[in-house]
Amino acid sequence: MTGQYQTPNIIINAEGLNHRVDSGSEQLTLLKDINLQVSQGESVAIVGASGSGKTTLLSMLAGLDSPSEGEIAVCGANLKQLDEEQRATLRREKLGFIFQQFLLIPSLSALDNVMLAAQLRGLDDAKALAAEWLERVGLRERASHFPNQLSGGEQQRVAIARAFICQPEVLFADEPSANLDADNGHRIEELLFSLNQQLGTTLVLVTHDPSLAARCDRVQQMAGGALSEARP
């Protein structure tokens, strides 16, 4: 990658990303000549129509998938140079994730779902930390409840506590309020940006919600696999 990445406050640097997949007798281009830099502590929204490549790009930036061409550096690590075990370590130690499906473990209580993230990271006092984070998201009284006993908004707040408990350097959020009603969506939005600002976490989110995108420092528009700065 270019020496430009050495600028201390650049925490994500993607250069020349292209991604193609086989579809029957033809190849589909999902990402097209993408370059993106994100500064430490910045919040960036990626918007666009369904199928424009938003989630594909997020997966690439998070090291969950690899592009056909191009390079990505996250938290000082060139993803192309990491094997899968090293990528998993990077995700566990530096990155956080929030998805629209919540992805809580059904057999674990809210407390245990949050605590597991801390245990996998090897943090001391994982149970106390999990309890503290459930309180921060307003769910202290729901700690012993299982996911099927929680509303959608409550489940997403558990997912946010799980994402933040290890204090990630970068948080990736994929449509974090898409499955929620307006009131719960607004509550999740307030919580997400409040915690993001308190911890100085870099936030990269995919959203269809204009109000959510408008709260970010910068908005990037995806169309046909290409990325451009959105007009104010």
- How confident is the model over 87-118, as pLDDT tens digits? 999 998 999 998 888 889 999 999 999 999 99
Say whether pLDDT at 6 is over 80: no
Q: What is the pLDDT of residue 2?
A: 41
- How confident is the model over 114-157, as pLDDT tens digits? 999 999 888 889 999 999 999 999 999 999 999 999 999 999 99
Q: What is the pLDDT of residue 218?
A: 94
Contact 104, 130 (CB under 8 A): no
Cα→Cα distances 127→132, 133, 203, Å = 9, 10, 26
- What 3-state class would DSSP assign to 193? helix
State the pLDDT confidence band at 3, using cuts at 50, 70 and 90.
very low
- How confident is the model over 170-216, as pLDDT tens digits? 999 998 888 788 888 888 888 888 888 888 899 999 998 888 899 99
Say whether pLDDT at 5 is over 70: no
Across-strand partners of 205? 45, 173
Across-strand partners of 22? 27
Say whether pLDDT at 220 is over 90: yes
> Is the domain defined by 3-229 classed in CATH 3.40.50.300?
yes
Distance CA 169, CA 201 (A): 5
Average pLDDT value over all residues in the chain: 90
- How confident is the model over 40-59, as pLDDT tens digits? 999 999 999 888 999 999 99
Whole-model pTM?
0.88
- Residue 85 tokens read as 């075990």
Which residues, 6 or more positions from 148, have their beta carbon under 8 angstroms from its beta carbon?
106
